[in-house]
Amino acid sequence: MRDQGPRSDRLPIVLIHGTSASLHTWEGWVKELSKTRRVISFDLPGFGLTGPAATGDYSADAYVKFTRALLDHLQLDRVVLGGNSLGGEIAWMVAAAAPERVAALILVDAGGYAFEPESVPLGFQMARLPGLGALSEHVLPRSLLERSIKDVYGDPSRVSAQLVERYYELNLRAGNRAALRQRFAQMNLGEQAATIKTLQQPSLILWGDKDRLIPPINGEHFARDIAGSQLVRFADLGHVPQEEDPLATLVPVQKFLSTLKP
């Protein structure tokens, strides 16, 4: 976990990464935001350096419980909650379960609705197949991981060797590959989508038009179902726009944050 920026901030920002990512996916945002805001990022159980969950429970509900426990541990009564992909799904679920704790939402190519992907990263495909899933716990070619990362970028040329190496090393953390397989086995797309309509927090929805994993139409669904929300799309970015182009995606975020009252 990283807790950066001024502790005097009365409305901290908490950022939640997506599947197979880590807190590093927010580095570009955190670098700028933490100059004036308190920003907390962390690795979910089963990813990054946190390590696998002792219970083996990687359901969305378990992640919501974990996130709420983290807010309690940090004594954060009220926050701006942001998330990408799986992290976005966790964010809005926390907001629905504990609306008094979440002042606003920033949803980046978020999960929540059932969808048919245009393309699934090869690493995810391996983890989801019974035979190959077990094999993927022991074999992780760097080239396969690189192809998977490039698959979620709008512009694959933005994927550097350094970025691939970081993802590769973090995925080698003991227990992470088994956790990914368990996560896919426990995943139930869209099972709580009806809850999205109950959200009342100010919400900023960001989406990459070249997202081939969760289709951009899902961003429109969020904008439709969350009253008063704002949708901003990025023509050249993919599934992780905050990582692919931090500065461009931060522009609407900074504007949105300026409208919130502590």
Domain holding 202, by residue range, is: 2-118+190-258
pTM of the full predicted structure?
0.93
Q: What DSSP element (H or E) covers 15?
A: strand 13-16
Q: Identify the CA nearest to 110 among candidates 3, 261, 225, 198.
A: 225
Mean pLDDT across 74-78: 97
- Per residue in 168-206, pLDDT tens? 999 889 999 889 888 888 888 888 999 999 999 999 999
Count the Cβ atoms, other than its own, within 10 Å of residue 131: 8
Q: How confident is the model at residue 167 (pLDDT cuts 50, 70, 90)?
A: very high
Q: What CATH number is associated with residue 91?
A: 3.40.50.1820
What's the structural domain count of the chain? 1
Look at the block and give the residue holding tokens 């998330």: 83
Residue 238 has pLDDT above 90, yes or no: yes
CA 222 to chain centre: 15
Q: Report if residue 218 sits inside a domain.
A: yes
Q: Is residue 22 part of a domain?
A: yes
pLDDT at 85 exceeding the cut of 90: yes
Least-confidence region, from 85-89, 125-129, 210-214? 125-129
Q: Which helix (H) or strand (E) is 242 found in, with range?
A: helix 241-244
In a domain, 211, yes or no: yes
pLDDT of residue 132: 45
Q: Say what the pLDDT of residue 241 is.
A: 98
Q: Quote the mean pLDDT of the chain.
A: 92
pLDDT range class, residue 121, cuts 50, 70, 90: low
Say if CB 152 and CB 213 are below 8 A apart: yes
- Quote the pLDDT of residue 124: 55
Judged against a pLDDT cut of 50, whether residue 229 lies above it is answered with yes
Residue 15 in contact with residue 82, Cβ under 8 Å? yes
pLDDT band at 86 (very low <50, low <70, confident <90, very high): very high
Specify the 3-state DSSP secondary structure of 42.
strand
How confident is the model at residue 133, as a pLDDT? 46
What's the 3-state SS for 38-83? CEEEECCCCCCCCCCCCCCCCCHHHHHHHHHHHHHHCCCCCEEEEE
Tell me if 81 is assigned to some domain.
Answer: yes
Let me know if residue 24 belongs to a domain.
Answer: yes
Residue 134 falls inside a structural domain: no
CB 109 within 8 A of CB 241: yes
Q: How confident is the model at residue 135 (pLDDT cuts 50, 70, 90)?
A: very low
Does residue 108 sit within a domain? yes
Q: What's the confidence (pLDDT) of residue 122? A: 53
pLDDT digits (tens, 9 = 90+) for 19-67: 999 999 999 999 999 999 999 999 999 999 999 999 999 999 999 999 9
In this structure, is residue 106 part of a structural domain?
yes
139: pLDDT strictly greater than 80: no
